[in-house]
Amino acid sequence: MSFEWIKIPYALLTLFIVANYGFLLTAVMAKIAARVGRRHGIPVWQNYVDLIKNYGLRSSITHGVMFYLGPVFRLTGGVGLLMFVPTIYGTEMFSNMSFAGDLILALYFVFFGSLGMALGAGESGHPHSAIGVTRGLSQVTAAELPFALAVYAVAVQYQTLSVTEIVAAQQGGILHWTLFSNPLAVAAAMLSFLGTMMRPPFDVVLAPQEIPIGPPTEYHSSYLALMQTNRAIFPIAKIVIYMNLFFGGAASWPVFFLKVFLIYLVSVIVGVVFPRFRVEQSIRWFLIWAVPLGIAAILMV
């Protein structure tokens, strides 16, 4: 298998599109949540303004090497996830660096950002960061369990670890989607999806309204801007995986935008309806409701 260099600019183009779509989509989702509260909410370009402002801050303070690397790792988690998963099915341009075993790698990247964050926030030495990291890691771990189970169920069902082949198996009509061929796995994965999107009811870890904001307590200026970029890219990259595994993938950009929007909307709707869980409540919730579903999905296959 020879590596084609043209893949790199193509992948960067994907990244550019996804990042901008992410910025706009997060703002639109914030607006939707605000409309539920009968507010007008932030303007759709607010994320860009915040980004420019954070890059424009004149002073920045570091606490050591890992403090630099924390946001970088976090961004790597988002970008890496996106890079190794085919964004648009069936096009050479936007298949990125996908290869035969990419599903396992994707699972790894989902977790990578949180770990990098833990290292960086630990170095900042702020007690709120340490608390936030502990709570965040335990919650993400609990939330990832059902997703991992669901992914194995899907992998066993299609007898492959390649995302591209899984998408290919789902083509040919809405009833071929995993959503209908293996509903249990999809249910488990969607519950886990709620947990890892960092929206209510599972966002107590780094909600800006909470007094300890969590891991990013000490992060500011450019570091924070990097993390904001990741906050735009990472959910989209994650949704791309879900879309590919369970909802038949996307064969063109309009379909991609629509599906990502709808999947994102699921977590927003749940978020505006339900109040926040505490961390131990959410862990218990995942273990009681989501994990058995995932196990059942594997058994069914």
**Which one, 5 or 40, has the nearer CB to another protein?**
40
The 114-153 site mask, x for binding another protein (CB under 8 A), equals --------------x-------------------------
The 30-59 site mask, x for binding another protein (CB under 8 A), equals ----x--xxxxxxx--x--xx-xx--xxxx
Least distance (Å) between residue 52 CB and another protein: 4
- Decide: 132 and 212 in contact? Cβ < 8 Å: yes
**Which one, 231 or 238, has the nearer CB to another protein?**
231
**Residue closest to 244 by CA, chosen among 146, 112, 102, 74:** 102
**Which one, 82 or 225, has the nearer CB to another protein?**
225
Q: What angle do CA 234, 204, 191 make, to 5 degrees?
A: 60
**Size of residue set near another protein by CB under 8 A:** 33
From residue 143, give the alpha-carbon distance in Å to each of 239, 287, 298. Answer: 15, 8, 17
Least distance (Å) between residue 228 CB and another protein: 11
3-state SS assignment for residue 101: coil
**Which one, 41 or 183, has the nearer CB to another protein?**
41
Least distance (Å) between residue 219 CB and another protein: 7
* Position 60 contacts another protein (CB under 8 A): yes
Least distance (Å) between residue 222 CB and another protein: 10
| 3-state SS string for 38-100 | CCCCCCCCHHHHHHHHHHHCCCCCCCCHHHHHHHHHHHHHHHHHHHCCCCCCCCCCCCCCCCC
Q: Give the footprint of another protein on residues 229-288 (CB under 8 A).
A: none
Least distance (Å) between residue 227 CB and another protein: 10
* Position 12 contacts another protein (CB under 8 A): no
Least distance (Å) between residue 210 CB and another protein: 7
The 75-114 site mask, x for binding another protein (CB under 8 A), equals ----------------------------------------
**Which one, 201 or 214, has the nearer CB to another protein?**
214
- Whole-angstrom Cα distance, residue 181 to residue 178? 5
Q: Give the footprint of another protein on residues 183-222 (CB under 8 A).
A: 208-213, 216-221
3-state SS assignment for residue 185: helix
* Position 64 contacts another protein (CB under 8 A): no
- Only one residue has tokens 């706009």, namely 24
- Residue 250 identity (one-letter amino acid): A
**Which one, 9 or 64, has the nearer CB to another protein?**
64
**Residue closest to 194 by CA, chosen among 154, 157, 250, 139:** 139
- Long-range CB contacts for residues 90-99, cutoff 8 Å, separation at least 24: 90/251, 91/251, 92/10, 93/10, 93/13, 94/10, 94/13, 94/14, 95/164, 96/7, 96/10, 96/11, 96/14, 97/7, 97/11, 98/162, 98/163, 98/164, 99/1, 99/162
Residues lying near another protein in the complex (CB under 8 A) are found at: 34, 37-43, 46, 49-50, 52-53, 56-61, 128, 208-213, 216-221, 224
